[in-house]
Amino acid sequence: MIEMLAYLVDISMSVCGLVATFPQGRGASGPSGRARCERRDMLGHLYDRALGGESCWIRHEDGEVRPLPAHRWLGARRSPDGPGESGDAFDEDFDEAVTQLCNGPTIELGCGPGRLVARLIRRGVPALGIDRSATAIRLAGRGGAPALLGDVFEPLPGTGLWQTVLLVDGNVGLGGDPRRILGRAAELLRRGGRCIAEFEAEVIGVRVRWVRLETGRDVGPWFRWASVGVDSAAMLAAQVGLTLTTVRLIGGRVVTSLAAL
């Protein structure tokens, strides 16, 4: 299995120059052509700057502001210097507990800088990350995490063969459509595999909102994102052919196991 995975990754990296496509800006039709491209570029640029250490936050359409926890994704500590920031450290216990739940070849959707993939590799678990940010992929490589630049909804290596799909750090709300991303996870899994998915403990149902990234210097375009409560996990899983088997509370964060039976 490990040799097969290595082969698929090698082939994918050589022939599949997957290009990220960020969600369309706010509005019924949104801008077209060059303007739409510029808006996507700004969204990606702000995310990349956050990975580089610049303070960045998420503004919701209802006015709520939360810090973008890039320091956690990087496995770093930092002091608060933006709206809503608390200066908390990355969650070592969470990272360790989640990776212990990953058995067999594992693919992480929206891996960011690849901290979890790198941890799995150090444990001897074959793993691969997928992300749309070239900066994130570059950082992942430096940290020892195999990762591919691409859209999680485009063709990926090993479809239908993965033992574990990892979906944490809010990525179940990707594009404002949790059913779609969970359906993608189901497609990637082999029979008997599991999707380890994080849901929110303090949200009821599925809350879809327009959000945007901001820094002290720039404001990004609006895009759709969903906050998904754990009360919706069983229903969403069933809609895509998965079965909720366990729910765990890890340091205040809720992680579920969704099985492909």
Amino acid 56 reads C
pLDDT at 42: 55
Top mean pLDDT of 46-50, 55-59, 75-79, 180-184 is at 180-184
Using 50, 70 and 90 to split pLDDT, how confident is the model at 41?
low
Give the mean pLDDT of the chain: 83
| CB-CB contact of 95 with 115 (8 Å) | yes
The 3-state DSSP class for residue 109 equals: strand
Which residue, 153, 66, 67, 145, is CA-closest to 112?
145
Q: Percent of the chain scored above 90 by pLDDT?
A: 66
Domain containing residue 60:
2-259
| CB-CB contact of 182 with 258 (8 Å) | yes
Residue-wise pLDDT tens digits, 139-175:
999 999 999 999 999 999 999 999 999 999 999 999 9
CA distance 255 to 204: 16
Q: Cα–Cα–Cα angle for 191, 193, 194, nearest 5°?
A: 140
Q: Which two tokens stand for residue 71?
A: 């320091």
pLDDT at 200: 95
Residue 139: which CATH number? 3.40.50.150
The 3-state DSSP class for residue 172 equals: helix
Radius of gyration of the chain from Cα atoms? 18
| CB-CB contact of 129 with 143 (8 Å) | no
HEC secondary structure over 4-49: HHHHHHHHHHHHCCCCCCCCCCCCCCCCCHHHHHHHHHHHHHHHHH
How many domains in the chain? 1
Amino acid 208 reads V
Q: Which two tokens stand for residue 165?
A: 């799909």
Specify the residue for token string 């809720």: 254
Residue-wise pLDDT tens digits, 7-32:
444 433 333 333 233 233 333 334 44
**Model pTM score:** 0.80
Measured CA distances, 75 to 113, 114, 119, 137 (Å): 9, 10, 11, 15
Least confident of 12-16, 97-101, 166-170, 185-189: 12-16
CB atoms within 10 A of CB 96: 13
- Please, which residues have CB within 8 angstroms of residue 186's CB and are 6 or more apart in sequence? 195, 240, 241, 242, 260
CA distance 128 to 111: 9
pLDDT at 217: 87
Paired with 42 in beta bridges are none
| CB-CB contact of 20 with 151 (8 Å) | yes
Least confident of 89-103, 104-118, 144-158, 178-192: 89-103
- Helices 33-51 and 134-142, interaxial angle, to 10°? 30
- Please, which residues have CB within 8 angstroms of residue 59's CB and are 6 or more apart in sequence? 65, 211, 212, 213, 214
